[in-house]
Structure 1
Amino acid sequence: DAWRWSPDGSRIAYWRFDQSAVRTFYMIDDLGHYAELIPLRYPKAGTENSTVEIRVVDIGSGATKTITSVDGDSYLPRMDWMDTDALLVQRLNRHQNRLEVLRADTRTGSVEPLFVETDSAWVDVDDDLIWFDSGRRFLWSSERDGWNHLYVYGRDGRVQRQLTKGEWDVASVLGVDERGGFVYFTAAQPTPMELHLFRVPLRGGRIEQLTKEPGTHYITMSPGFTYYVDTWSRAGTPPTTRLFSTDGRLSRTLAENSTVAERIGQLGLQPPEFFQFETTDGVTLNGWMIKPANFDPSRRYAALLYVYGGPGSQTVTDAWGGSRYLWHQLLAERGIIVVSVDNRGTGARGRDFKKVTYLNLGDYETRDQAEAARWLASQPYIDPSRIGIWGWSYGGYMTALAMMNSDRFAAGVSVAPVTDWRLYDTIYTERFMRTPQENPEGYDNSPVHKADRLTGELLLIHGTGDDNVHFQNAVQLVDALQAAGKQFDLMIYPNRTHSISGGSTTVHLFTMITDWLVEKLVDADRPAS
């Protein structure tokens, strides 16, 4: 989707990328008689990016004009038509802490700035810019007051009013209903664990919450803003999809998932219990816990922390968790209490909570996961010697690093981890870390550089066909662990991508992880025969 039709259908605006300066990364397919190299242009942190242009082609004549361009030290993340003659372009510097919103005249090629959004850490790029009032005003979201809120701007780039305020974050803008005079949006309110639909008058005023049931509501608005589709779920409740009118009346139920709900009920599972605790440095963290159906408070159970923990993410939400939730329930029935805690750096708790990790990914996050293990160890029903941790992707990175930054974990499963941020791409990594040349100490806070500090038993898992977090990450961690004399377990999935799926792979993967965790955390408590 790298092009945009003009409103009158006479022209197309499109991005043109030149990757010639980007180095080639080679993946390897080893399943044939001869290994095959798979070339992939991939800009790793601190290396050259693509150059980018925005061009406009006239459908009738075929004439093409370059509107604006940037070298590899900037990005053009968003572009759309303002009217038949003008484009709205967002230009982001390479540090991603300065976002310019530009008006580009497609007839003359002139470009003028409308306004600039800056942040001492980074600026999140989203799709919340919406024009209204015949192009005289637009909606914009910003964290300028410490929380993500909505603002009305004039065409001159000046703020006219702030529409939403408070210690909570707007999650997404669903649209501007000019006829009704409302902006519809979702927000993490009344708690960071929930997501609800709200509307606020365009002229400012009282915010109205439209969804009532506690939990998570994923919303799709009708084109005329008279109806919305609400897919609602809770942590122990499968999704139900219903159609409502915006005056709050239920029109019809579209999908109930009644069969799934009935089967879940027959299993007699314990729904997750939400909790909070305070770290030793005074930070309150949110979490959930899954206990076995036959939980006995007089017993001492093993515990497993499920972690992702990346910037702006959340695992602690009152929402249906799908197959992974059911697998966590299986682990609970095998004697492992499963817990997840949203560390500092995660989302829906304001700018400062999210951006405290800037230039130092993995530090506050692993400290908070170690604090979660400390809190668990203080519970009378948890065995402090049998606390594990597992995660995938950023969570795999967190798992390995937590086991190197803390001695609280007896075992950990690290799936598809980044093991050195120098190996990951420019646009994600540099947003939070700048470049390795500017921030070498921050980049060194990675598992490859701390392998000699590994404590507990580690299971490392990776797919060789991972084109997101390359298998190279696993290879370099294996090399570092071996050099440090550390024993560990390793499972490789040939040609499997970042999802490690396809064929019988998923069943093999989760059967293997289950057996490994039971051996390390449950069987470890049983006397030898």
Structure 2
Amino acid sequence: MTIRLTLAAIALTLAAPAAAAPDRLAETLALPVASGLTGAQDVARFAWIENAAGARNVWVADKGRPARQVTAFAEDDGQQIYDLNLSPDGATLVFVRGGDGEFPDDGLPNTGLATATPKQQLFAMPATGGAAVAIGEGHQPVFSPDGGRIAFVRKGQLWLWQQGGEARKLASVEGGIERLGWSPDGTRLLFVEARSGHSFVALFDVTGQRLTYLDPSLGHSVEPAFSPDGRQVAFIRYVDPPSGAKDDSGPYWSIRITDVASGETRELWAAPQGMGARFAGTRSRNLFWSKDDTLVFPWERSGWLHAYAIDANKGGAPRELTPGAFEVETMLLDRDGRALLYSSNAGDLDRRHIRRTTLASGATTRLSGGTGIESYPAPAGDTIGVIASDATHPAHPALLDAKLTPIGKAPAAQDFVAPNPVIFRAADGVEVHAQLFRAKGPGRHPALIFVHGGPRRQMLLGFHPSGYYSNAYILNQHLAAEGYDVLAVNYRSGTGYGLAFRDAPEIARAGASEYRDVLAAGKWLAAQAHVDPARIGIWGGSWGGYLTALALARDSALFAAGVDFHGVHTMLRPVENNLSPDQQTAARQLQWTSSPMGAIDTWRSPVLLIHGDDDQNVDFSQSLILARELAARRIPYREIAFPNERHGFFRYADWLKSYRATEAFFRTTLIERKPLK
């Protein structure tokens, strides 16, 4: 009997279908990715947004207690959640669902192909969970200092909501509203009104219903900040250098202070000629007024983007707070308003860590380090949270303590390994940083170049805090596991390596000098013993799509295939009228020769084009134009078009389809080496 049962079991096992192999790409892309971390002012409570396989939800956690999900959205419906904020006491949270956080006042996307009309909806709810109250259409919600009111923006209008009441419109303006904030006493709203080619700083008296513009000018007035007593407003004023002018000619920007009662404005300080004559900001707010009357702002005087301090009353020469050969990416004042918290690549150019610098003394403490990546510090009560990641863990919230403790779950990607840092030089001597994802196994492998977008961006030695580049990191790891050596290139015009690298000569429409780094990367790969030089491909999105197309157009002999996500293919655009007619003609010609279209007659390699037709960053017509030209020259290409999809695809299903198609395309063209039919 025992033998018969065993044989029967064997027969059943043989007859049963084999278990499906795990779909590692789908599983890893579905891992939760955190963003929008915010902290309550008075208590150690954090809130953040988590995207897991396209289902976006809000999570909340108190220090020392388990995290809890307070919303229950379960569909991959393309509905973004953004502008998350906590009341000062941490009791209430507010967020926006729907629309596009990058273009909140534009037409609403419908990436999920919903049958109903898409909405942008502002919600308020208890931070401990419970029913959410729909406030109405709008975005950019900010709590009043006492937490009792929420001001927000709706298509150039200021609105106000108080719990238990209805939202009411306060005012309308001609431009878009940015950097909305309250005065310390809760009687005024301060904001930037962005108009065509210029912007104003505006002050709205909530009680008196009066709108005032502070020292309006012929440039951009940005980054307004109240003094601690609310009697003054500081802001940055800048103009862009005209075409043909050197960036360091200047002066192009200054810090100004307006007395709220009188409206009188004084220039506190102006950037001199030389490095830093043009204004450059971090990825966070860029002007802070501390409790001891110190103004903190970014400046590139040293050739690196750093934080500086200046006395708000006396002015004088600014003090550098963060010296060194590194760049500050984000910064803010801590809870006490007397120290600066910032994320930078100090001591490790290809990662990011957190430091604190006391404004009065300049004393600096390193709060994180090691092989992880820590970004976007968020104070909450007596503690600090960050968005953390590393080679195997996507972005997740963590407490900035001795152990960098994750807040909630932080699942790891299976079988991921840390990429290797690589440094090489372009033909003109520029030093280029990259990350190498090595394929396993002996012999020569096919290889790929990955080029990021932006171009003001930097790929890191681990999961990127940006969801877009977190996905790109996943695909690079996946392609390495499939047998490709992948080199992610941080080409010139990107961030992280100083002013001279970011604003290198002849970049973009002025000559595409960043392509020299991409070409050098391809040649570096071709020279490696583990790479088959006849099977090198390239892929990237946005500006990376542009460089992918440029590589295929100029150097099909080196780059055997490419995948171009929503790339720019013709760089032609109107030039400024300060140039003479002859200069304008020369500028237009340079734009053309900097474009993939300018070299399309030498394009031979197959390409996969992927684009959403509701892209607000790179117009869909850029891919339409290229497809027509490729067809006319019988250059083999494949295409994926996503109806209603935006630039950074809103739906998990669209990312997965794109990445599977990318893998299949490179398998056909680089591994199997089959012609496209």
Seen in structure 2, the aligned counterparts of structure 1 residues 368 and 253 have a Cα distance that, compared at 3 Å, is closer
Please report how far the alpha carbon of residue 423 of structure 1 lies from its aligned counterpart in structure 2 after TM superposition: 5.3
1:466 to 615, 628, 651: 615
Question: Which sits farther off after the overlay, 215-224 or 384-393?
Answer: 215-224
* Residue 78 (structure 1) aligns with: 223
Which whole-Å CA distance do the structure 2 matches of 1:198 and 1:425 have between them? Answer: 42
Q: State the one-letter code of the partner of 2:372.
A: G
Seen in structure 2, the aligned counterparts of structure 1 residues 145 and 357 have a Cα distance that, compared at 3 Å, is same
Q: How does 1:13-162 map to 2 (within 5 A)?
A: 13-16=190-193, 49=196, 52-70=199-217, 74-82=219-227, 83-95=229-241, 98-117=252-271, 122-126=278-282, 127-135=285-293, 137-155=294-312, 156-162=314-320
Please report how far the alpha carbon of residue 513 of structure 1 lies from its aligned counterpart in structure 2 after TM superposition: 1.9
Q: How does 1:188-227 map to 2 (within 5 A)?
A: 188-204=345-361, 207-223=364-380, 226-227=382-383
Which whole-Å CA distance do the structure 2 matches of 1:251 and 1:381 have between them? Answer: 37
Paired residues, number: 472
Are 2:469 and 1:350 equivalent residues in the alignment? no
Which of 1 and 2 has higher RCO (CA within 8 Å, sep 6+)?
A: 1
2:408 to 236, 255, 259: 255
Question: Which sits farther off after the overlay, 338-347 or 123-132?
Answer: 123-132
* Alpha carbons 1:53, 1:67 under 8 Å: kept: yes
Are 2:315 and 1:315 equivalent residues in the alignment? no
Which whole-Å CA distance do the structure 2 matches of 1:351 and 1:216 have between them? Answer: 22
Q: How does 1:429-440 map to 2 (within 5 A)?
A: 439-440=587-588
Seen in structure 2, the aligned counterparts of structure 1 residues 270 and 216 have a Cα distance that, compared at 3 Å, is closer
Unaligned runs of 5+ in 1: 19-48, 427-434
1:330 to 445, 461, 478: 478
Are 2:410 and 1:410 equivalent residues in the alignment? no
| SS of equivalent residue, structure 1 residue 461 | strand
* Residue 183 (structure 2) aligns with: 6
Q: How does 1:353-364 map to 2 (within 5 A)?
A: 353-357=501-505, 360-361=508-509, 363-364=512-513
Are 2:613 and 1:443 equivalent residues in the alignment? no
Which whole-Å CA distance do the structure 2 matches of 1:301 and 1:351 have between them? Answer: 36
Please report how far the alpha carbon of residue 209 of structure 1 lies from its aligned counterpart in structure 2 after TM superposition: 1.7
Please report how far the alpha carbon of residue 355 of structure 1 lies from its aligned counterpart in structure 2 after TM superposition: 1.2
| SS of equivalent residue, structure 1 residue 90 | strand
TM-score (norm 2): 0.63
Which whole-Å CA distance do the structure 2 matches of 1:253 and 1:269 have between them? Answer: 19
Q: State the one-letter code of the partner of 1:129.
A: L
Seen in structure 2, the aligned counterparts of structure 1 residues 152 and 305 have a Cα distance that, compared at 3 Å, is same
Are 2:611 and 1:454 equivalent residues in the alignment? no
Q: State the one-letter code of the partner of 1:4.
A: G
Residues 84-115 of structure 1: CA distance to partner in whole angstroms, max 9, x if unpaired? 33322322214386223222233333332222
Which whole-Å CA distance do the structure 1 matches of 2:575 and 2:390 have between them? Answer: 35
Unaligned runs of 5+ in 2: 1-139, 141-176, 577-582
Please report how far the alpha carbon of residue 239 of structure 1 lies from its aligned counterpart in structure 2 after TM superposition: 4.9
* Residue 229 (structure 1) aligns with: 385
Which whole-Å CA distance do the structure 2 matches of 1:284 and 1:237 have between them? Answer: 29
Which whole-Å CA distance do the structure 2 matches of 1:240 and 1:291 have between them? Answer: 26
RMSD, aligned α-carbons: 3.3
Seen in structure 2, the aligned counterparts of structure 1 residues 269 and 360 have a Cα distance that, compared at 3 Å, is closer
Please report how far the alpha carbon of residue 469 of structure 1 lies from its aligned counterpart in structure 2 after TM superposition: 1.0
TM-score (norm 1): 0.79
Seen in structure 2, the aligned counterparts of structure 1 residues 399 and 436 have a Cα distance that, compared at 3 Å, is farther
Q: How does 1:392-403 map to 2 (within 5 A)?
A: 392-403=541-552
* Alpha carbons 1:193, 1:318 under 8 Å: kept: no
* Residue 22 (structure 1) aligns with: none
Question: Which sits farther off after the overlay, 486-495 or 453-462?
Answer: 486-495
Identity %: 24
Seen in structure 2, the aligned counterparts of structure 1 residues 476 and 164 have a Cα distance that, compared at 3 Å, is same
Which has more radius of gyration? 2
Please report how far the alpha carbon of residue 69 of structure 1 lies from its aligned counterpart in structure 2 after TM superposition: 3.3
Please report how far the alpha carbon of residue 472 of structure 1 lies from its aligned counterpart in structure 2 after TM superposition: 1.7
Which whole-Å CA distance do the structure 2 matches of 1:157 and 1:437 have between them? Answer: 45
* Residue 304 (structure 1) aligns with: 448
Q: State the one-letter code of the partner of 2:297.
A: W
Q: State the one-letter code of the partner of 1:296.
A: G
Residues 45-79 of structure 1: CA distance to partner in whole angstroms, max 9, x if unpaired? xxxx35544433322232333334345xx333322
Which whole-Å CA distance do the structure 2 matches of 1:53 and 1:129 have between them? Answer: 16
Q: State the one-letter code of the partner of 1:346.
A: G
Are 2:330 and 1:172 equivalent residues in the alignment? yes
